[in-house]
Amino acid sequence: AQKVTQAQTEISVVEKEDVTLDCVYETRDTTYYLFWYKQPPSGELVFLIRRNSFDEQNEISGRYSWNFQKSTSSFNFTITASQVVDSAVYFCALPNTGNQFYFGTGTSLTVIP
Amino acid sequence: NAGVTQTPKFRVLKTGQSMTLLCAQDMNHEYMYWYRQDPGMGLRLIHYSVGEGTTAKGEVPDGYNVSRLKKQNFLLGLESAAPSQTSVYFCASSYSLAGRYEQYFGPGTRLTVT
């Protein structure tokens, strides 16, 4: 069965600091996808990124970057120069071949102005 | 384009009462899902549907029933509500083969059972 671990329950940073959110996963699948979602205080879930297990290249989107390392089963998310609007709960997710998403327990990020 | 909508947004029930949560999507997605979110637990899958007329159990299906009579709608029912079902419920949909495609989420329904 799939398993996702987000060991950091809560993180606080001061605005403009960089922050990395950790995600460690377990799967027996040889091919899989990993996802990150953001849940701002308003409550909705916003899709951020999808990554195929075949592609270990780091991805950068503006201030966001993702580091996928198959050797350590990790898919970490870094926010550079954090802003108050980044305050949210961030979830890492790993679906199985039966179309069920398994979410981590989330990391609550607070960016202090 | 409304995306995924949920009705109602808030509800308070007494133990033993029943209710139905409605999820609707206008993206013509085949797959639909119901999750519950509890503090410190992340999102857990209750039931899901891979197409009109089909449903399947997820990780925490006990106490819930679902129906998918129309492709765009997915209903979640609580026949006899219990305080343990106090939670935020999210509906989601995806194009196909959810392991490859992102799920689009509704705004959530906050349910309190007293």
Cα A68 to the center of its chain, rounded Å: 10
Residue B97's pLDDT is 63
Which of A91, A99, A100 shows the shortest C-beta gap to B42?
A91
| Least reliable range by pLDDT among A47-51, A90-94, B8-12 | A47-51
* Interface residue A32 vs chain B (CB under 8 A): yes
- CA B23, B2, B101, A3 dihedral sign is negative
Residue A44's pLDDT is 92
Interchain proximity A32–B99, CB inside 8 Å: yes
Cα A35 to the center of its chain, rounded Å: 7
Taking residues A19-23, report their average pLDDT.
97
Residue A68 makes CB contacts below 8 A (sequence gap 6+) with: A34, A51, A55, A56, A57, A58, A59, A74, A75
Residue A30's pLDDT is 87
Interchain proximity A99–B90, CB inside 8 Å: no
| Least reliable range by pLDDT among A9-13, A33-37, A41-45, A54-58 | A54-58
- CA A96, A59, B92, A45 dihedral sign is positive
Q: Residue B98 above 70 pLDDT?
A: no
Which of B40, B45, B105 shows the shortest C-beta gap to A100?
B45
Per DSSP, the three-state class of B98 is: coil
* Interface residue A88 vs chain B (CB under 8 A): no
Q: A 53-72 residues with CB below 8 A of B?
A: none
